[in-house]
Amino acid sequence: MIRAALVFTLVPFAVLLAAPRPSIAADRFLAVALSCPAGVEAPACSRENATDVLVQPAGQFDCPKVGMMLATHLGLAPGERHKIVCERRKG
């Protein structure tokens, strides 16, 4: 019985620790989703050669998740790929 009570006490605490929290400086990073042209490999894909670029401010830990959400809004043509980048804001 004590073991079950301990599990029920620790599980909500673990969920609380894993839940996303707003960062104090939530806009220090930029989540960038790039639409890479057909024939361009991911390492070579950049803002300069992308066919579509979506950018949104994000926190350090939320940046990959925000980038994935942005990528769902890219208009990819057949053969194109997407790339997600988290960049530190300048300034």
**Which residue type, as a one-letter code, is found at position 41?**
E
* Token digits of residue 33: 């989703």
Q: How far apart are CA 60 and CA 90, in angstroms?
A: 14
> Model confidence over 30-68: pLDDT tens digits?
999 999 999 999 899 999 999 999 999 999 899 999 999
Share of the chain above pLDDT 90, in %: 58
Evaluate if residue 12 carries a pLDDT over 80.
Answer: no
Q: How far apart are CA 51 and CA 65, in angstroms?
A: 22
pLDDT at 75: 86
* Token digits of residue 91: 């300034």
Residue 85 DSSP symbol: E
**pLDDT band at residue 14 under the 50/70/90 scheme:** very low
Residue written as token pair 């926190």: 59
**SS3 (DSSP) at 89:** coil
**SS3 (DSSP) at 82:** strand
Q: Which residue has the higher pLDDT, 4 or 41?
A: 41
**pLDDT band at residue 5 under the 50/70/90 scheme:** very low
* Token digits of residue 50: 């992308």
